[in-house]
Amino acid sequence: MRLTILGSGTNTHPTRAASGYLLYTSQLLLLDFGPRTLMNLMRIGVDRHSITHILFSHYHADHFADFIPFFFDAVFFSNHLGTRPDLTLIGPHGTKKLFRTLIQTLPGFDKARFAVRFKEVSDRSFMIGHTKISPRTVVHSPSLHSVGYRIEYGNKVLAYSGDAQYCKNLIRLCEDANLALLDCSFPANKPGRGHLHAGECGLVAKEASADCLVLSHFYPIADRYNVREQAGERFDGRIVAGKDLMTIKL
C-alpha cells in the first residue's frame, strides 16, 4: 500500500492544498477531494479519468470542493474525448442527496456517459476489490455525520481520521494500524474545537498502538509551532509531518 498526500492544509492555507489523499492498493482510491488537490493530482501524473472510487469523510468544503471541477471535466471527457470507467462516490449520511442535487443542478452535470453510483456508509465494513474499507463515525461537528476510514490491503492497515476531535471511535479506528493519518489542525498550545491538536494526535497514536503517525490538515497556525515535537511528547513511534506531494510506503 502506498499513500500520496495531495493536500496537507485547509481551505485558505497559503501554501498547502486542502484535504486530499491518494491511496494505491490494487485499486487507486481518493480519500477526500479538497480545494487545490486536483491540481496536485495532475502534477504527479495520475490519469484522473482512471479514478473509480472517491471516499469522502464529510462535506465541509475543505474536503470536497475539487469534486466539482473534477466531475465537470470528467463529463466533458466522456462526451468528447474518450471513455472513462464508472464512478462510485462513497461517504457519510447525506452523500446521495448532495451528489444528486449537484448533478441535477449544475449545468452539464447530468450529461455523463458513465454511470455514477452513490454509497452512504454506516460503521460497517465493505470491500473494493481486494481492499477492505471499514468506516467509523467520529466526533467533529454536531450538525454533520463525519467518518474516518480504516483501510486494509495485504497485511497493512492505514487509518484516516477525516476531521475529528479526540473520541473513543478514533482510537478503535486506528487500533494497531501501520499508519495513522490524523487531523492535526492545531498546535497543542493553541487548540480549536472539533479537531485534534498535535498533542492529542500523539495520544491517539499511543493509545491505539499505531506504528507510524502522519500529521496533516494543518491550519496556518499549526505551521508556526513544532507539531511533530508536540506529538512526540505522547508517542514514541515514528512521526511524520505531512507535506503536499509526499509519498509514504507501508
Q: Which residues bind Zn ion (CB under 5 A)?
A: 60, 62, 163
> Residue 152 or 183: which CB sits closer to Zn ion?
183
Q: Rg of the chain's alpha carbons, rounded to an integer? A: 17
Instruction: Work out how close the CB of 140 gets to Zn ion at its nearest, in angstroms, rounded to a whole number.
Output: 6
> Residue 148 or 232: which CB sits closer to Zn ion?
148
Instruction: Work out how close the CB of 93 gets to Zn ion at its nearest, in angstroms, rounded to a whole number.
Output: 15
Instruction: Work out how close the CB of 222 gets to Zn ion at its nearest, in angstroms, rounded to a whole number.
Output: 12
Instruction: Work out how close the CB of 163 gets to Zn ion at its nearest, in angstroms, rounded to a whole number.
Output: 4
> Residue 92 or 199: which CB sits closer to Zn ion?
92
Helix-strand-coil percent breakdown of the chain, rounded to 5?
30, 30, 45
Distance of CA 235 to the CA centre of its chain: 23
Helix ranges, the chain (H): 37-43, 67-80, 95-105, 168-174, 198-207, 227-232
The phi and psi torsions of 24 (rounded to 5 degrees) equal -105, 115
Using alpha carbons, select from 75, 104, 81, 90 the residue that is nearest to residue 151.
90
> Residue 116 or 144: which CB sits closer to Zn ion?
144
